[in-house]
Amino acid sequence: MNFAAILSQFRFAVTAGATAFALATLLTSQAPPLDMGLLLCLALAVLSERWLLVLPRYGPFTLSESMIFAVMLRYGPVATLFATILAGLSRFQRESRHGASARPEFIFYSLSQSWLSYGCAAWMWSKFRGLGPILADQAPLDLFLMLLLAVGVFAVQAYVVAVHQWLEQQCLGDWSTRINWPRLRLVTQALLPLGVLLTACLQERPGAVLLLLGPLWVTYSSIRNYTATLQEAQQVVSSLAEAVERREPHTVGHSSRVGRLATDMGRYLRMSEVDVRTTASAARLHELGKISLGDHILCKSGSLQASEWERVRRYPEVGAEVASHLSLSRREAEIIRYHQEWYDGSGYPHGLLGEQIPLGSRVLSVAKAFDAMISRRSYRSALSWQQALSELRQRAGTQFDPRVVAALQAVLGPVALRSRAA
């Protein structure tokens, strides 16, 4: 199946549909008044795109989305179209300054995606509610309609993004697992309320919007500093994990390869995208506990003594403890702690059985074992991919979850297996 061609056709369909919708909007909807409030919202939508925030679990966002909500509620579909386009172009300009470039057709596709979500909501609002003052005569009804519009914006965005990612990732698993559900909470509990507040200010006096800029900047700076601190802490832990990995020359690159493999397996097993990312992150950190092991154990070519083996059995716990102290890695810590458990209950450190073992841990266990088998170790030579896969199938039901082993076999075709083995 030519996934690239299907993805190209999907992008074209979205772009064509959005273009037709935009033309229909321009021809049938009333032009908004070009007053100070609209100009201020458009300017703020462009400027706020320069200040990107990336929140854990929620993903990247800017306050331009709140500006677009305000334009939608106050000025209608035509103004929403211009706000969406201007904010999108500002985003691509910001990304180009950081070295990211996009082809023109992808820019049109991205703008079309945004317009479809906000444009449909703007049309529904103007059609069924009208553009009069909000929260005046029927405040509960207004709030209910606004909430429905926010859910609609999220639904259109989430659907298009999920299908796009699903096609881009060669239709692994189910497209619905790509939906970023935490973002619905961000839209309904933060971005929409701010948009409503901006709309209320515009109703009273457009200049009142400027009074919000100070508190917004303080909030933005605080969140940016917080996330930057967390990212730096994650980088330190990741660097520590890489340093531990380099102590065994034959395992360099092992964690990153396991992470990529676990990502494909997780998607095939229809894990949510959040859980897939968590499992991949745990894979990159799963060797962290080996910091507690000396070189005489890590590089030993012969059999381990009983005391040495006891220390090895504790390293998943050590790695989990280190990761758990970082708030962003607490979910990863659970996966790391149990990735040496066996499906039949004879593993370590707690002897969990079957479904008691987190799915992420079971995925990590198989991915790690496969990469270890096809890589050279100090105590043995590398196995061929056929031998490794055969070994995993033999251990399915005892050491490994049979369903996860089947997922490995499904996501790795002969060509992919040979490339990984090389």
Structural domain of residue 321, as residue ranges? 230-421
Indicate if the pLDDT at residue 168 is higher than 60: yes
Same domain assignment for residues 198 and 314 = no
Higher-pLDDT residue of 12 and 245 is 12
| Residue 414 counted as domain residue | yes
266 shares its domain with 379: yes
Q: Are residues 303 and 359 in the same domain?
A: yes
* Residue 210 CB neighbours (<10 A): 12
Phi, psi of 263 (to 5 degrees): -60, -50
Do the Cβ atoms of 377 and 351 come closer than 8 Å? no
Query: Hey, how many other C-beta atoms are within 10 angstroms of the C-beta on 373?
Result: 20
Instruction: For residue 336, give the CATH number of its domain.
Output: 1.10.3210.10
The maximal CA–CA distance of the chain, rounded, in angstroms, is 82
Q: Which of 170, 204, 238 is the last residue of a domain?
A: 204
> pTM higher than 0.75 for the full model?
yes
193-202, 291-300, 309-318, 399-408: the lowest-pLDDT one: 291-300
Residues 47 and 145 in one domain: yes
**Which structure tokens are listed for 61?**
């966002």
Tell whether 126 and 244 lie within a shared domain: no
Q: How confident is the model at residue 362 (pLDDT cuts 50, 70, 90)?
A: very high
Residues 110 and 52 in one domain: yes
Q: Give the pLDDT confidence score for residue 420 in this predicted structure.
A: 45
Any domain includes 212:
no
| Residue 142 located in a structural domain | yes
If one counts the domains in the chain, the total is 2
Domain CATH code at residue 191: 1.10.1760.20
Asked if 256 and 393 sit in the same domain, the reply is yes
pLDDT category, 305, cuts 50, 70, 90? low
**Final residue of a structural domain among 156, 189, 204:** 204
* Shared-domain flag, residues 244 and 117: no
> Cα(422)–Cα(415) distance, rounded to whole angstroms?
11
What is the enclosing helix (H) or strand (E) of 395?
Answer: helix 385-395
Shared domain check, 320 and 412: yes
- Contact status, residue 340 vs residue 365, Cβ threshold 8 Å: yes
Q: Are residues 189 and 291 in the same domain?
A: no
Least confident of 161-165, 167-171, 227-231: 227-231
Q: 224 lies in a domain?
A: no
Does 143 share its domain with 245? no
Mean pLDDT for 28-35 is 88
Residue at 250 is within a domain: yes
Q: Is residue 352 part of a domain?
A: yes
Phi, psi of 378 (to 5 degrees): -65, -20
Report the C-alpha gap between 366 and 347 in whole angstroms.
14
- Amino acid type, 81: L
Distance CA 190, CA 223 (A): 13
pLDDT digits (tens, 9 = 90+) for 73-100: 999 999 999 999 999 999 999 988 877 7
Residues 190 and 301 in one domain: no
- Residue 341 inside a domain? The answer is yes
Those residues with Cβ within 8 angstroms of residue 263's Cβ, 6 or more apart along the chain or in another chain: 276, 277, 279, 280
